[in-house]
């Protein structure tokens, strides 16, 4: 395998620094262990790896050509698939070599019926994967872990910007970063900083794609909550949107929280089911309902996240 030498070196290095780090059973403490955080990343990598493998097995080159994509498009997805498989194998090997349990792949339910729906879902998965790695860094103190996670994160972020090609079928209308900005005057990024999600927020977005998982996986993961689904209709910066979710009744003031970067989230009080979307949002934005006017973590999340996509042109105006 083309990555075998680098993989072996990194796996041995990570195994060395993770040696003697126990896997903490969910619920024993609020702060997840490093092994648990790595397993959250592995859960996402297993999902992404299966996603690309299933799609490439289902859609031959002729399907990509019929959808109007260039000859090299499917080959790029094949490369991304190999990356995700390498990430999953690396994390699994490092954890087991260090004596920690590694989560196993699950059974998945991917909602794609053609090349266009596959490509649209790509953007969502890669955005979630990037936010998962950024959100997990806060629980990691060892510099070696941060370096390795940062290396994977950089590749995931490149996938997020490079996994869509010019197509009238894709609502987000993104493409390879250079073509997207220089040729189409559309965005290959949102803000100067990407967003971060907590493990439960990541799991909430991934859960609809998971049919079932081995029961043993729970022992290797932190306590995860799948929050109620949040839908946001007619969302556009500076416009009124309608939100819908099912959650326990509360007399506490709720907020619609918009997370577009690691900076302070934007929280707007919710009145009824309408909300004024802030006019300074762009790119992928994670939206959730929270019960606190300043935080957007697991202690405050009521529903969501939902993913919003606010494209903008080269002047920063909504596209």
Domain containing residue 238: CATH number: 2.60.40
Helix (H), strand (E) at residue 118: helix 115-136
The per-residue pLDDT for range 159-180, each reduced to its tens digit, is 444 443 333 223 233 333 422 3
CB 23 within 8 A of CB 33: yes
Could you say which DSSP state residue 22 is in?
Answer: P
The whole-angstrom separation of Cα 232 and Cα 250 is 20
Q: Do 80 and 189 lie in a common domain?
A: yes
Q: Do 258 and 191 lie in a common domain?
A: no
Query: Kind of pairing, strands 255-259 and 210-212?
Result: unpaired
Q: Which of 139, 118, 146 is nearest to 36 (CA)?
A: 139
Question: Residue 122 — very low, low, confident or very high, per pLDDT cuts 50/70/90?
Answer: confident
Q: Do 106 and 25 lie in a common domain?
A: yes
* Torsion angle of C-alpha atoms 89, 95, 100, 103, degrees rounded to 10: -30
Q: Do 184 and 248 lie in a common domain?
A: no
In the chain, % of residues over pLDDT 90: 40
Q: Is the whole-model pTM more than 0.75? A: yes
207, part of any domain: yes
- Classify burial at 47, counting beta carbons within 10 Å of its beta carbon; exposed 0-12, middle 13-18, buried 19 or more: buried
The whole-angstrom separation of Cα 233 and Cα 231 is 7
Q: Do 44 and 110 lie in a common domain?
A: yes
Structural tokens at position 138: 């806060």
Q: Do 268 and 157 lie in a common domain?
A: no
DSSP-assigned states of every residue in 122-189? HHHHHHHHHHHHHHHGGG---HHHHHHHHHHHHHHHHHHHHS--S-TT-TT----HHIIIIIS---S-
The per-residue pLDDT for range 282-300, each reduced to its tens digit, is 878 999 999 977 778 888 9
Q: How many domains does the chain have?
A: 2
223, part of any domain: no
Supply the range of the domain harboring residue 245: 230-310
């Amino acid at each position: 395998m083309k990555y075998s030498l680098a993989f072996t070196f990194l796996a041995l290095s990570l195994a060395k620094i993770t040696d003697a780090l126990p896997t903490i059973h969910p619920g024993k403490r609020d702060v997840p262990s490093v092994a648990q955080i790595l397993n959250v990343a592995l859960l996402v990598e297993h999902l992404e790896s299966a996603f690309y493998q299933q799609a490439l097995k289902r859609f031959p080159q002729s399907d990509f050509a019929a959808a109007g994509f260039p000859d090299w498009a499917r080959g790029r997805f094949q490369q991304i698939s190999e990356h995700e498989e390498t990430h999953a194998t690396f994390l699994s090997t490092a954890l087991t070599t260090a004596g920690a349990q590694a989560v196993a792949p699950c059974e998945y339910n991917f909602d794609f019926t053609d090349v266009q729906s596959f490509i649209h879902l790509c953007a969502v998965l890669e955005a979630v994967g990037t936010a998962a790695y950024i959100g997990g860094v806060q629980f990691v103190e060892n510099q070696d872990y941060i370096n390795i996670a940062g290396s994977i994160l950089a590749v995931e972020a490149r996938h997020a910007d490079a996994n869509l090609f010019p197509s009238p079928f894709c609502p987000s209308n993104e493409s390879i970063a250079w073509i997207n900005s220089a040729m189409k005057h559309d965005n290959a990024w949102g803000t100067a900083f990407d967003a971060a999600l907590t493990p439960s927020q990541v799991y909430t977005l991934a859960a609809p794609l998971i049919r079932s998982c081995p029961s043993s996986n729970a022992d290797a993961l932190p306590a995860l909550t799948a929050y109620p689904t949040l839908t946001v209709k007619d969302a556009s910066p500076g416009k009124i949107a309608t939100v819908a979710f099912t959650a326990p009744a509360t007399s506490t003031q709720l907020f619609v929280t918009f997370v577009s970067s690691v900076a302070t989230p934007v929280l707007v009080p919710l009145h009824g089911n309408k909300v004024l979307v802030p006019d300074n949002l762009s790119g992928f934005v994670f939206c959730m309902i929270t019960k606190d006017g300043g935080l957007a973590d697991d202690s405050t999340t009521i529903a969501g996240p939902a993913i919003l996509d606010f494209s903008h042109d080269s002047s920063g105006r909504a596209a």
